[in-house]
């Protein structure tokens, strides 16, 4: 996955994202916030899936832990956003460390099943622990962070709170994605790809596979937690279904839809899936059916995801242009 | 350098390796031969930590490495190649070797550096020595079998081992490729002062470079010594050629 | 102190649940053992078995023996669906990464679950017990429905038949061999692709059969596919993926755990069930009777 992009897609995307409140209605800002947060969630999963070759069926656990952490801190304890959000990442990382320790000792299907089991345990706790998590009802009415200072900014001053929050989200997500990009382009990232390609061989070049996998697991969990913290506020409430296996499968599909072989694949997948979901659920209640069909088409026709297909197409165009 | 003492391994009651001992001195080129199923690969797995022996010890440079995990054994100076080519298929040739260097130089947990040009010169030097420098940018999975075996050698060398364990390094090669590969291996061993222990089916290869040969049959050593001795050993002849006493 | 008849009743109900679970989990385990695919859609096949049985019972509303007709029709129908799915779609994914196969079966779950909603709606449906097996009998002071007794006998009977097929017939030998080394089997001239289809059909047949037989005992609702697949996962994890007797043992254990667990921990089910699965995976991932994992 060497970076041969001539266009700085990342920068372009951020600029475009920042412009949304100015050009679009409230609805678009809403959708864009959702996309940005889930793009981070999906990219964090891809650190495990696309780069290390680990299939996690329970990534929503860390998303949920992050959401509940931020929600709890801000709603019950009036902790400021600047502390509550990193706390989400930290606590999610702790959970990932504990769960990951056991998970990385297993391979393939057993690894996947244990990640699922742990995630469902977290879900059951969130569902039942009424005192802390609000149980089945969850935690509604999470406050927005104090964004009054944004009204003093020249171009953003006149926007609504939700738009202010959106801009904050874009900045945080962009920063997080930049860090993730650095991580995958580091020596650590290179070693992760060797684990994905051939874990046995990686051992024999001196790689402590389990330790690397655990570090990747914790990092992925931390960023998922960050995404969860952002999402809880966006959603104005945190609920147990943030942790449910359906959420884990959703983010997994997003990642593969966009393309797990490219860094920006999952982000693209998040965008496409959310837009599709939004469009299709307005016509029919049978979204799962549509999703299932899309998934099958994806698996058989575009295994590299959208970005993968685009990359192949671009290569063909380049080749025929040269010919 | 390497001292294997009475290692045993049984799988589900089947004794794959039953009390094998062998010694390889520093700078030696030694070979293990034996018919299929003799336990050669299992023995390698036992030595390199891929499989834990049921009994026996493996001593490397005076240090007991029995049962240590592969990555620890690798760090202690043992490098291994595999019978079925074991590379990183979707990484480029360059990346394959670079990754081995990164792991060997303990930069594996560097999360902030940039990997692009890291150890570039050293990587290219290794590729040069195994003859794959022009293919540095190629995706390794699409290389020919022979090239992949060469790459594997490069990956092993990147870990700067003192002891090379090569499991059937010329498997699946044509006669020309075999000769070239063996010459390459012999040259690199000499240049870098390495110790080499390899398994092979191709007798010509074995007798051309090995200084010491161990013959394995059904998990036990049936003969050991210099090529000439082994060649004329009656037990060996019986096992290989079916000669009666 | 709960009296003995109550305990006996609980144990029996645990056993009955176990028999159903065994039926379904054995199909799952078989498919995994041979095809190395963890079929998420197995629960959907179970659900379809239930719905199809319901449909046949309605169509043959006045025919005597309709329950049995419906059961057989449902099981065969699901087996046929399984064959189609395997031959037309799944087989193209065999060479690929396991993740793709898993996602495919998950996509099937999504599609089949909505398909069932379209055809049969989202309400609760039920099927009454076959007239031959209505009523109950008193054993050790507790009332045991005849139907449950039937299931309690059928379970081991099917296990026995299954075991005989696996160990005493030629096809069974091929199946066991395929579970160990499919390449070798192909090299021996066995039509491996036909074997795969057959195994998938057999597994699906068992799922459909289980679904059809469970209709007098449980209401048919959307969501029963997910509920059962989770339980089936736990059973095969406890018993050992791919192990026949392991699945039987796992089902027995889980049935009792379910039955008595609710008494001991009222807020039992969801948490403890997954905690159990996690504990097994951590301590002994290959389950009670599976083969230890080799790196």
- B4-45 tens-digit pLDDT: 777 777 776 677 777 888 888 888 888 888 877 777 888 888
Predicted-assembly ipTM surpassing the 0.95 threshold: no
> If residue C65 lies in a helix (H) or strand (E), which one and from where to where?
none
Confidence of residue B241 (pLDDT cuts 50, 70, 90): low
Residue C66 distance to chain A (closest CA, Å): 32
Chain C residues inside the 8 Å CB shell of A102: 278, 281-282
Chain C residues inside the 8 Å CB shell of A303: 96, 100
Distances (CA, A) of A152 to A40, A155, B103: 28, 9, 51
Q: Say which residue, B71 or A215, is predicted with more confidence.
A: A215
C241 touches chain A (CB under 8 A): yes
| CB-based contact A248:A56 (threshold 8 Å) | yes
| CB-based contact C198:C171 (threshold 8 Å) | yes
Delimit the domains of chain A by residue range: 9-245
Q: Say which residue, C185 or B142, is predicted with more confidence.
A: B142
Nearest chain A residue to B84, by CA: A201
B159 touches chain A (CB under 8 A): yes
Give me the mean pLDDT over the B135-163 stretch. Answer: 88
The reported pLDDT for the residue numbered C275 is 86
Q: Do B103 and A191 touch (CB under 8 A)?
A: yes
Quote the distance between the C-alpha of residue C102 and its chain's center: 18
Percent of chain B exceeding pLDDT 70 equals 96
C88 touches chain A (CB under 8 A): no
Token representation of residue C121:
């709606």
Nearest CB neighbour to A208, from listed B71, B82, B107 = B71
Q: Do A289 and C111 touch (CB under 8 A)?
A: yes
The reported pLDDT for the residue numbered B224 is 85
Using CB atoms, list chains with 3+ pairs below 8 Å to chain C: A
* Placement of tokens 């390495």 in the chain: B194
Using CB atoms, list chains with 3+ pairs below 8 Å to chain A: B, C
Per-position b or e across C144-159, b if 16+ CB within 10 A of its CB: bbebbbbbbeebeebb
Q: Residue C244: which of C163, C167, C153, C169 has the closest Cα?
A: C163
Ranges under pLDDT 50 in chain A:
1-3
For A208, list phi and psi in degrees, rounded to 5: -80, 90
Residue C158 distance to chain A (closest CA, Å): 28
Which of A124, A195, A297 should one mutate to test binding to chain C, selecting the residue with the greatest count of C CBs within 10 A? A124
Q: Do B89 and A206 touch (CB under 8 A)?
A: no
The reported pLDDT for the residue numbered A1 is 42
Quote the distance between the C-alpha of residue A37 and its chain's center: 7
Confidence of residue B244 (pLDDT cuts 50, 70, 90): very low
Q: Name the β-bridge partners of B9.
A: B17
CA count, 13 A, side-chain hemisphere, B27: 3
Residue A71 distance to chain C (closest CA, Å): 23
Q: Do C107 and A289 touch (CB under 8 A)?
A: no
Chain A residues inside the 8 Å CB shell of B109: 188, 212, 215
The reported pLDDT for the residue numbered C295 is 36
* Placement of tokens 């699965």 in the chain: C277
Q: What is the largest CA-CA distance in chain B?
A: 67
The reported pLDDT for the residue numbered A52 is 95
Query: Over 90: is that where the pLDDT of B172 sits?
Result: no
Token representation of residue A72:
């709890």
Token representation of residue A249:
């499968």
The reported pLDDT for the residue numbered C267 is 62
Confidence of residue B242 (pLDDT cuts 50, 70, 90): low
| DSSP E strand boundaries for chain C | 136-139, 142-145
Q: Do A112 and C113 touch (CB under 8 A)?
A: no
Nearest chain A residue to B72, by CA: A206
| CB-based contact B22:B40 (threshold 8 Å) | no
B115 touches chain A (CB under 8 A): yes
Q: Do B107 and A202 touch (CB under 8 A)?
A: no
Sign of the C-alpha dihedral, residues B130, B131, B133, B135? negative
C89 touches chain A (CB under 8 A): yes
Give me the mean pLDDT over the B157-181 stretch. Answer: 84
Q: Which residues of A touch C (CB under 8 A)?
A: 49, 55, 102, 105-110, 112-114, 117-118, 120-121, 123-125, 127-128, 200, 249, 252-253, 256, 286, 288-289, 291-293, 295-296, 299-300, 303
Token representation of residue A38:
């889930």
Q: What are the pLDDT tens digits along chain C (295 aa)? A: 567 788 888 888 888 989 999 999 999 999 988 888 899 999 999 999 999 999 999 888 888 888 889 999 999 999 999 999 999 998 888 878 888 999 999 999 999 999 999 999 888 988 888 888 888 888 877 888 888 888 889 888 988 898 888 888 888 888 888 877 767 777 777 788 888 999 999 999 999 999 999 999 888 999 899 989 989 998 998 888 878 888 999 999 888 887 777 777 666 566 777 888 899 899 988 888 877 654 3
A185 touches chain B (CB under 8 A): yes
Delimit the domains of chain B by residue range: 1-77+163-245, 86-160
Which of A190, A218, A220 should one mutate to test binding to chain B, selecting the residue with the greatest count of B CBs within 10 A? A190
Q: Which CATH fold topology does B1-77+163-245 show?
A: Rossmann fold (3.40.50)
Q: Name the β-bridge partners of B79.
A: B164
Residues 36-55 of C with CB under 8 A from A: 38
Q: Could you tell me how many residues make up chain A?
A: 323
CA count, 13 A, side-chain hemisphere, C179: 20
C274 touches chain A (CB under 8 A): yes
Residues 170-229 of B with CB under 8 A from A: none
Q: pLDDT, tens digit, for every residue of B72-108? A: 888 888 888 887 878 999 999 999 999 999 999 888 8
Distances (CA, A) of B76 to A5, A205, B80: 40, 11, 12
Q: Residue C75: which of C171, C203, C195 has the closest Cα?
A: C203
Nearest CB neighbour to A117, from listed C98, C115, C281 = C281
Sign of the C-alpha dihedral, residues C74, C75, C80, C81? positive
């Amino acid at each position: 996955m060497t970076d041969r992009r001539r266009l700085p897609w990342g920068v372009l995307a951020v600029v475009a994202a920042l412009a949304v409140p100015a050009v679009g209605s409230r609805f678009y800002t809403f959708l864009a916030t959702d996309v940005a947060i889930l793009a981070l969630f999906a990219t964090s999963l891809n650190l495990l899936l696309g780069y290390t070759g680990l299939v996690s069926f329970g990534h929503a656990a860390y998303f949920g832990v992050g959401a509940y952490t931020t929600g709890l801190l801000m709603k019950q304890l009036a902790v400021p956003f600047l502390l509550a959000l990193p706390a989400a990442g930290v606590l999610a990382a702790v959970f990932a460390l504990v769960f990951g320790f056991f998970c990385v000792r297993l391979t393939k299907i057993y690894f996947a099943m244990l990640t699922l089991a742990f995630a469902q345990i977290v879900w059951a706790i969130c569902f039942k622990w009424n005192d802390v998590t609000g149980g089945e009802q969850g935690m509604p009415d999470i406050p927005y962070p104090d964004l009054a200072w944004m009204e003093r900014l020249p171009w953003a001053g006149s926007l609504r709170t939700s738009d202010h929050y959106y801009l904050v989200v874009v900045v945080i997500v962009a920063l997080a994605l930049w860090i993730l990009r650095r991580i995958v382009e580091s020596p650590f990232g290179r070693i992760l790809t060797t684990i994905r390609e051939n874990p046995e061989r990686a051992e024999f070049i001196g790689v402590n596979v389990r330790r690397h996998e655990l570090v990747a697991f914790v990092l992925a969990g931390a960023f998922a937690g960050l995404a969860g913290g952002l999402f809880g506020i966006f959603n104005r409430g945190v609920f147990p279904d943030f942790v449910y296996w359906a959420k884990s499968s959703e983010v997994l599909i997003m990642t593969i839809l966009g393309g797990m072989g490219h860094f920006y694949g999952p982000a693209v997948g998040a965008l496409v899936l959310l837009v599709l979901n939004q469009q299709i659920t307005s016509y029919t209640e049978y979204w799962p059916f549509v999703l299932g069909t899309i998934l099958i088409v994806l698996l058989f026709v575009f295994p590299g995801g959208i970005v993968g297909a685009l990359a192949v197409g671009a290569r063909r165009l380049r080749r025929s242009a040269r010919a | 350098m390497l001292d294997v003492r009475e290692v045993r391994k049984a799988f589900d009651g089947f004794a794959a390796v039953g009390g094998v001992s062998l010694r390889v001195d520093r700078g030696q080129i030694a070979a293990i031969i034996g018919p299929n199923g003799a336990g050669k690969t299992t023995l390698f797995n036992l030595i390199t930590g891929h499989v834990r022996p049921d009994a026996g010890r493996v001593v490397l440079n005076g240090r007991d490495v029995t049962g240590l995990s592969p990555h620890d054994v690798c760090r202690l100076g043992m490098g291994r190649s595999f019978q079925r080519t074991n590379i990183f298929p979707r990484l480029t040739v360059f990346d394959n070797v670079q990754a081995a260097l990164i792991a060997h130089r303990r930069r594996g947990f560097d999360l902030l550096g940039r990997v692009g040009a890291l150890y570039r010169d050293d990587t290219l030097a290794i590729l040069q020595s195994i003859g794959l420098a022009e293919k540095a940018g190629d995706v390794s999975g699409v290389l020919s079998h022979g090239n992949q075996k060469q790459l594997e050698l490069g990956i092993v060398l990147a870990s700067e081992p003192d002891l090379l364990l090569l499991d059937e390094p010329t498997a699946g090669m044509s006669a020309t490729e075999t000769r070239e590969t063996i010459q390459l291996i012999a040259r690199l061993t000499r240049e870098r002062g390495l110790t080499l222990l390899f398994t092979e089916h191709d007798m010509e290869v074995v007798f051309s470079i090995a200084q010491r040969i161990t013959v394995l049959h059904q998990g036990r050593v049936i003969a050991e010594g210099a090529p000439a001795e082994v060649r004329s050993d009656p037990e060996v002849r019986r096992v290989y050629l079916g000669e009666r006493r | 102190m709960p009296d003995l008849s109550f305990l006996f009743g609980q144990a029996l109900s645990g056993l009955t649940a176990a028999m159903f679970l065994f039926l379904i989990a054995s199909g799952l385990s078989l498919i995994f053992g041979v095809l190395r695919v963890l079929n998420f859609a197995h629960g959907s096949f179970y659900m379809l078995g239930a719905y199809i049985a319901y449909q046949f019972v309605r169509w043959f509303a006045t025919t005597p023996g309709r329950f049995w007709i419906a059961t057989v029709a449902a099981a065969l129908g699901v087996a046929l669906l399984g064959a189609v799915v395997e031959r037309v779609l799944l087989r193209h994914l065999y060479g690929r990464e396991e993740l793709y196969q898993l996602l495919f079966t998950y996509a099937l779950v999504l599609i089949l679950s909505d398909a069932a909603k379209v055809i049969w709606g989202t309400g609760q449906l039920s099927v009454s017990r076959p007239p031959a097996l209505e009523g109950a009998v008193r054993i050790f002071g507790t009332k045991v429905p005849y139907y449950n007794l039937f299931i309690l006998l059928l379970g081991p009977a099917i296990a026995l038949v299954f075991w005989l097929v696996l160990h005493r017939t030629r096809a069974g030998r091929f199946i066991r061999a395929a579970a160990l080394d499919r390449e070798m089997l192909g090299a021996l001239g066995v039509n491996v692709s036909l074997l795969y289809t057959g195994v998938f059909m057999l597994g699906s047949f068992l799922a459909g059969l289980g679904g059809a037989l469970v209709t007098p005992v449980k209401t048919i609702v959307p969501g029963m596919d997910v509920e059962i697949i989770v339980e089936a996962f736990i059973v095969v994890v406890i018993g050992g993926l791919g192990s026949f007797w392991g699945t039987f043992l796992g089902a027995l254990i889980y049935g009792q755990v379910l039955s008595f667990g609710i008494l001991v921990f009222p807020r039992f089910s969801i948490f403890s069930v997954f905690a159990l699965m996690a504990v097994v995976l951590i301590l002994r991932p290959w389950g009670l009777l599976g083969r230890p994992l080799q790196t």
